[in-house]
Structure 1
Amino acid sequence: MRRIIAMMGQAAGPYRPQWNRAVVITVFGALANGLTLVLLLPMVVSLLSGDTATGWWLVGAIAALMIAEGFLRVGELGFSYNLYPTLMEDIRLRLGEHLRRIPAEELALRRSGGLSTTLNQDVTNSMLSVSEVASLFLRLIVIPLGFVIALIVIDPRLLLGAILGAVVVAFTLARQNAVTARSQPAIARADAETADRIVEYVQGLPVLKAAGQVGDRSERLVAAMHAQGRALRASIDQASFALTGAAIGANLAVAGVVAVGASLVLGAELSPVMAAAVVVAAAGLAEPLARAAALTSVFEVAEAAMGRINDVLAIAPLPTPETPAVLTAHHIAFENVSFSYRGAVAPAIQDVSVNIPAGSLTAFVGPSGGGKTTMTRLIARFADPQQGRVLIGGTDIREVTERELMRHIAVVFQDVHLFDASIFDNVAMARPQASEQEVLDALEAANCGELLARLPDGAHTRVGEVGNQLSGGERQRVAIARALLKDAPIVLLDEPTSALDTESEVMVQEAIDRLVRDKTVVVIAHRLSTVVAADQIVVLDAGRVREIGDHTSLLASGGRYAAMWAAQTRARGWTLAQDALAHQTSV
């Protein structure tokens, strides 16, 4: 309970004063409830023994405590209904903001299903488990404690009868804590794995259908569900042992109190009225003590959920400058930059120095894994280099805020991500203050006019999850429209035409030509024919810069670029020859 309250206080963040107030109200409510039940014992004894003055005084005290508890419970519920939803929203917003600020590498190491479970299920479990059960758990602490005090006042020997049962209950609860602490991580891993596989299953249905892996043939999803079921069954079996042990211990404690009380009555050391009252009170404690084991497991679930939330919040974000700079120019420079992904054997880029003049078009080319994508990610500050600096306009990008940096950069990825909203909304997010006409103009400039004309709701047609209602070329044009509307002075292009058919490529290339006009452009190119007009071409291989120059000078040098150009030229010739042969055969 102490750990939970401490973790909840930490999670409450700016709402910690309200959370502390809610805890105080809960504690006082539990005390009032506990004292009410504790005073019942002397009240019954006083009334039955003829001490009516004391009895009626105790009746009045109990009534006052019950009224106080009612008011406190109303206040507690008010805080619960108002504070806990606010806390859940605040924690989710803080998690979302934190995820936005952590390095992209750290985000890539965590599966989307697991993060979704943390943002949704773990936040709910951590809050609702505490808000619904904390009050009852506190009462289960206060009431037995009050009963013990009452027994000590009446006759300490009565406690001797409860020792065996108390030991059984304590052992059971300790074992339950240990078992739950071990089982919760396994359940959490199984839940996250199942969530990942469900996301994978839904997003990959076309591929799964083609491979015959749908329904009962979806082996990865089925295996994850079986593992989840095994983890849950193991936890339930272990919890059943704890609940049984707690019930046995509680009954043994009651039986022990009854036995000692009976022997004291027979020895004329305790009045029959007092003994009867003690037995009735002890019998009433058996069920709450047995339920304590179940509540303990609930708190372990809440603590495990809060632990996973804190694990995400503990990921170190990219540092923010104390006195942020402002970008005033748009030439880009890499100064002796080295960067390694966590766990990688070799650096992704090593000791790279490149200058990209403002208003120029620079292409990064080279084999897969050469460091091209890493270079563009470092420009957008998806991560910070371990050595060297990346500068824009002569300013280290670590000295500007994320908002300031991204105000100057537009990115068009090869794999476009669109949100399940309208085309208009997906474009307008680049500049929310833009007018409707400005958004439509950007769509027109991106060659989306024909697309909008044939859609039922035009620009207000929903694109589906990740834009799956649109073709690859259509998604690329919508992404370019988004970049056009942003009108940032720096444009990063991750080969946006590599996977398109000829017609779509022509339309996307025309849109790109409008996008990059008068901009500082960095493009990742796989097909060298698309960057022959670049101002400079940077050849990257194994994380190092091998050559820099324009198309003509690199061909003349006869180096790596010339070899790549020759290989792609031969490949195109082979394709043309195959097409011609197929045509002759068909004729």
Structure 2
Amino acid sequence: MSVDATTEEPSAQERPPPDGTAREEEPSDSVAQRVAALLPFAREDRASYVLSAVLATAGTLALLGQFYVIYLAIDGVVADEATGPGMYALAGAVLALLVAHHVLMAVSTLISHRAAFRTLYRLRLRIGRRLGRVPLGRVTGRRSGEIQRTLSEDVERLESFLAHAIPELVAALVVVAVTTVWMFAVDWRMALAAAACLALAVALSGRAVHGSQALMGGYMAAMSRMNGSIVELVRAMPVVRTFNRTGDTFAEARDAIRGAADYQARWGLRFLPLFTGFFTLAAAPAVTIVPVGLLLWTNGSISTTDLLFFFVIGLGYGGPVTKLLNFTAQLTQLSYGARLVTDLEEAEVLPERERAPGPGDGTVEFDGVGFRYEGAGTEALTDVSFRASPGTVTALVGPSGAGKSTVAKLLCRFFDTDTGTVRVGGDDVRDLPFSALMSRVSFVFQDTFLFDDTVAANLRVADPDADDARLEDVCRRARAHEFVADLPEGYETRVGEQGSRLSGGQRQRLAIARALLKDTDVIVLDEATAFIDPENEVAVQEAVEALVHDRTVIVVAHRLSTITGADQILVVDGGRIVERGRHDDLVAADALYARMWRAFEATESIALGEAVHGAPTEPIQPTAPNGQEDV
């Protein structure tokens, strides 16, 4: 059961196979390719990351220096040349190198973390600005969870690479490289014995990582489905409890959780032998170092000092290699998330021309506009033309899916037209910078969005510099001041997530007050009264009337009673304007609008008393805002 339509399951291409088999169609990039895909994110702070890597390298060399000092001490003891002052000096050197190691690594980590957080901050800002220029219809058409996950989880994963992997990877590589050279310089035979296990371990890990990469898409899809089901369960709980469907809904979330767990279990079991072999071999240099070393020592082919050196250095040779493997395994998930971040950061944007707008008024013109949604089989709009002048209300009505909201979206340039031109104040909206267009047009959505903040903060989204007196003024004109004043803390009352502490009509009136505060020449109301009660409808209607003065108002209407006084009614059907005129004229024409009006009257005339008791009721005769009674 799916209660929340905004939560979508993964597509068939993303969904993990039901039998748990791997999907091999995704190409497996090499480690170098995956690192290369992540490095561009570090470009702006590369100086900090380079400094962090240099400090980490120095800290690692200080750590190896301790072992060299210990090697000298062992050599002195074995050769019977050790003295008290000499040993104290060596102990002091070990202590100094130990302190240097920890200080250098701490400073390196501090620098890399500060740089990483600066990088993530700028990255999120860039994506946010990019989304502001992407066709808004495409943004709102995507899964909200997908964008949210990219901006939070996928971006956050980059912190692991930027803050940890860069210095730690460099340090691990330095340890492995220096230790390998050092061991070969001391005794090549023992060095080969130490490297034998690790060479086989690296081969096993490479095969495991390469094979598991193909399953990353399925893993991400399984996790997405699980997270989506849990979010849906929480959001839908009031509906679920009302209809007593907790069993079904919990079952869906349970199945998604089990599916994710099963997928991970199958993934782990498939590569368990390879990874087990790697960790076993990486931790087992003693299997070769001890017997080979003792054999060479017994034959007098290696000194006691060199043998002890390999027992100290060689036995810990696998630690850095294990760290490198862990990083390599994380690379798959990191690079996968980086691709999603890059896709969002490089999303196609609407072209913006840097041209100064003319001094036009709020006149809106559609001239032969045609538009088809991406992937749609038919046009959403065909040859739509009309003109709306300042100080007038133009209403768009018609059947569901006729194209009314598409007209409003094209006016606000959520998309660009395929044919024809949309003008505001005489300027083609495609020629206006986005800031200039948004300074001329306000949009009041059907589903009003309010931030989980105070009433005042939500209003000041339109004008951050507005003082309290101006907030009260626009709320009075939007018929919102009375209910705001009754709130526990007035304008400083928090409205809850998405305005959950307010009614639908109250949210709409705040949205209209916000539009008044923005004070644009054109205001678009998209189904502003579709889901509110009659009392609030009257208040919203009065608020709409406050907008009309010297402004061009475009109303996408659901309830015909709210637009009977409109200066111009455009009847949209099948993507075309099939009728236009005032209410009385359209009713007299006895075409589509007249049929819609009669259906509306019939619906409004059904009273609860008649439904329950069979009592007859008189049809309601809505009164237009101009005071003329409608037919």
Q: Select the residue among 86, 91, 97 that pairs with 2:118.
A: 86
Asked if structure 2 preserves the Cα contact closer than 8 Å seen for 1:340 and 1:346, the reply is yes
1:386-425 aligned at under 5 Å gives the runs 386-425=418-457
Q: Which residue of structure 2 lines up, in the alignment, with residue 345 of structure 1?
A: 377
Report the residue type matching 1:25 in the other structure.
L
Q: Which residue of structure 1 lines up, in the alignment, with residue 464 of structure 2?
A: 432
- Report which stretch shifted further, 293-302 or 480-489: 293-302
Q: Select the residue among 98, 104, 118 that pairs with 2:130.
A: 98
Do the aligned partners of residues 260 and 580 (structure 1) sit closer, same or farther apart at CA in structure 2, a change above 3 Å counting? closer
1:223 corresponds to 2:259? no
Give how far 1:107 is off.
Answer: 1.6
Give how far 1:283 is off.
Answer: 1.0
Name the structure where helix makes up a greater proportion of residues. 1
1:23 corresponds to 2:61? no
SS of the equivalent of 1:417 reads coil
Give how far 1:493 is off.
Answer: 0.8
SS of the equivalent of 1:420 reads coil
Give how far 1:382 is off.
Answer: 1.6
SS of the equivalent of 2:214 reads helix
- Report which stretch shifted further, 470-479 or 210-219: 210-219
- Report which stretch shifted further, 434-443 or 208-217: 208-217
Give how far 1:539 is off.
Answer: 2.0
Do the aligned partners of residues 572 and 97 (structure 1) sit closer, same or farther apart at CA in structure 2, a change above 3 Å counting? same
Report the residue type matching 2:353 in the other structure.
P
1:266-415 aligned at under 5 Å gives the runs 266-325=298-357, 328-415=360-447
Q: Select the residue among 213, 216, 220 that pairs with 1:188.
A: 220
Report the residue type matching 2:494 in the other structure.
R
SS of the equivalent of 1:200 reads helix
Provide the rounded CA distance (Å) in 2 between the counterparts of 1:442 and 1:345: 44
CA deviations 1:18-41 (Å, max 9, x no partner) are 334333433444455456546765
Report the residue type matching 1:391 in the other structure.
R
Do the aligned partners of residues 309 and 66 (structure 1) sit closer, same or farther apart at CA in structure 2, a change above 3 Å counting? same
Q: Select the residue among 512, 523, 526 that pairs with 1:480.
A: 512
> How many residue pairs get matched?
585
Asked if structure 2 preserves the Cα contact closer than 8 Å seen for 1:339 and 1:350, the reply is yes
| Cα-Cα RMSD | 3.4
Q: Which residue of structure 2 lines up, in the alignment, with residue 441 of structure 1?
A: 473
Q: Which residue of structure 2 lines up, in the alignment, with residue 517 of structure 1?
A: 549
CA deviations 1:320-339 (Å, max 9, x no partner) are 22445356322122233332
SS of the equivalent of 2:317 reads helix
Q: Which residue of structure 2 lines up, in the alignment, with residue 466 of structure 1?
A: 498
Q: Which residue of structure 2 lines up, in the alignment, with residue 118 of structure 1?
A: 150
CA deviations 1:484-524 (Å, max 9, x no partner) are 22221101011212222221111111111112222111111
Q: Select the residue among 523, 536, 547 that pairs with 1:491.
A: 523
Do the aligned partners of residues 316 and 52 (structure 1) sit closer, same or farther apart at CA in structure 2, a change above 3 Å counting? farther
Do the aligned partners of residues 415 and 535 (structure 1) sit closer, same or farther apart at CA in structure 2, a change above 3 Å counting? same
Provide the rounded CA distance (Å) in 2 between the counterparts of 1:335 and 1:402: 21
Asked if structure 2 preserves the Cα contact closer than 8 Å seen for 1:35 and 1:143, the reply is no
Provide the rounded CA distance (Å) in 2 between the counterparts of 1:51 and 1:135: 39
Do the aligned partners of residues 76 and 550 (structure 1) sit closer, same or farther apart at CA in structure 2, a change above 3 Å counting? same
Report the residue type matching 2:418 in the other structure.
Q
TM-score by length of 1: 0.88
Provide the rounded CA distance (Å) in 2 between the counterparts of 1:156 and 1:181: 36
SS of the equivalent of 1:141 reads helix
Report the residue type matching 2:410 in the other structure.
L
Asked if structure 2 preserves the Cα contact closer than 8 Å seen for 1:430 and 1:485, the reply is yes
Do the aligned partners of residues 584 and 334 (structure 1) sit closer, same or farther apart at CA in structure 2, a change above 3 Å counting? closer
Provide the rounded CA distance (Å) in 2 between the counterparts of 1:314 and 1:231: 32
Give how far 1:534 is off.
Answer: 2.2
SS of the equivalent of 1:537 reads strand
Q: Which residue of structure 1 lines up, in the alignment, with residue 3 of structure 2?
A: none
SS of the equivalent of 1:462 reads coil
Q: Select the residue among 465, 483, 492 that pairs with 1:451.
A: 483
SS of the equivalent of 1:498 reads coil
- Report which stretch shifted further, 47-56 or 25-34: 47-56
1:10 corresponds to 2:35? no
- Unmatched tracts of structure 1, length 5 or more: none
Q: Select the residue among 174, 182, 199 that pairs with 1:150.
A: 182
- Report which stretch shifted further, 570-579 or 262-271: 570-579
- Report which stretch shifted further, 52-61 or 101-110: 52-61
Do the aligned partners of residues 278 and 320 (structure 1) sit closer, same or farther apart at CA in structure 2, a change above 3 Å counting? same
- Report which stretch shifted further, 273-282 or 15-24: 15-24
Report the residue type matching 2:51 in the other structure.
R
- Unmatched tracts of structure 2, length 5 or more: 1-30, 618-631
Provide the rounded CA distance (Å) in 1 between the counterparts of 2:340 and 2:476: 46
Give how far 1:238 is off.
Answer: 5.8
Do the aligned partners of residues 30 and 197 (structure 1) sit closer, same or farther apart at CA in structure 2, a change above 3 Å counting? same
Provide the rounded CA distance (Å) in 1 between the counterparts of 2:443 and 2:164: 46
Q: Select the residue among 86, 107, 110 that pairs with 1:75.
A: 107
Asked if structure 2 preserves the Cα contact closer than 8 Å seen for 1:9 and 1:19, the reply is no
- Report which stretch shifted further, 551-560 or 429-438: 551-560
Asked if structure 2 preserves the Cα contact closer than 8 Å seen for 1:113 and 1:193, the reply is no
CA deviations 1:420-451 (Å, max 9, x no partner) are 12222222221111110110121122222431
CA deviations 1:549-587 (Å, max 9, x no partner) are 3334444544433333344344445669946963369xx
Asked if structure 1 preserves the Cα contact closer than 8 Å seen for 2:362 and 2:424, the reply is yes
Report the residue type matching 2:53 in the other structure.
V
Provide the rounded CA distance (Å) in 1 between the counterparts of 2:169 and 2:46: 21
Provide the rounded CA distance (Å) in 2 between the counterparts of 1:400 and 1:113: 32
Provide the rounded CA distance (Å) in 2 between the counterparts of 1:210 and 1:576: 23
Percent identical pairs in the alignment equals: 31
Q: Which residue of structure 2 lines up, in the alignment, with residue 172 of structure 1?
A: 204
Provide the rounded CA distance (Å) in 2 between the counterparts of 1:39 and 1:144: 19
SS of the equivalent of 1:157 reads helix
Asked if structure 1 preserves the Cα contact closer than 8 Å seen for 2:366 and 2:386, the reply is yes
Q: Which residue of structure 1 lines up, in the alignment, with residue 622 of structure 2?
A: none
Give how far 1:76 is off.
Answer: 0.9
Provide the rounded CA distance (Å) in 1 between the counterparts of 2:50 and 2:367: 51
Provide the rounded CA distance (Å) in 2 between the counterparts of 1:84 and 1:365: 52
Give how far 1:42 is off.
Answer: 6.9
Q: Which residue of structure 1 lines up, in the alignment, with residue 580 of structure 2?
A: 548
Q: Which residue of structure 1 lines up, in the alignment, with residue 19 of structure 2?
A: none
Do the aligned partners of residues 308 and 239 (structure 1) sit closer, same or farther apart at CA in structure 2, a change above 3 Å counting? farther
- Report which stretch shifted further, 420-429 or 249-258: 249-258
- Report which stretch shifted further, 371-380 or 183-192: 183-192
Asked if structure 1 preserves the Cα contact closer than 8 Å seen for 2:53 and 2:170, the reply is no
CA deviations 1:141-172 (Å, max 9, x no partner) are 22222232223323433344346423321123
Do the aligned partners of residues 211 and 260 (structure 1) sit closer, same or farther apart at CA in structure 2, a change above 3 Å counting? same
SS of the equivalent of 2:543 reads helix
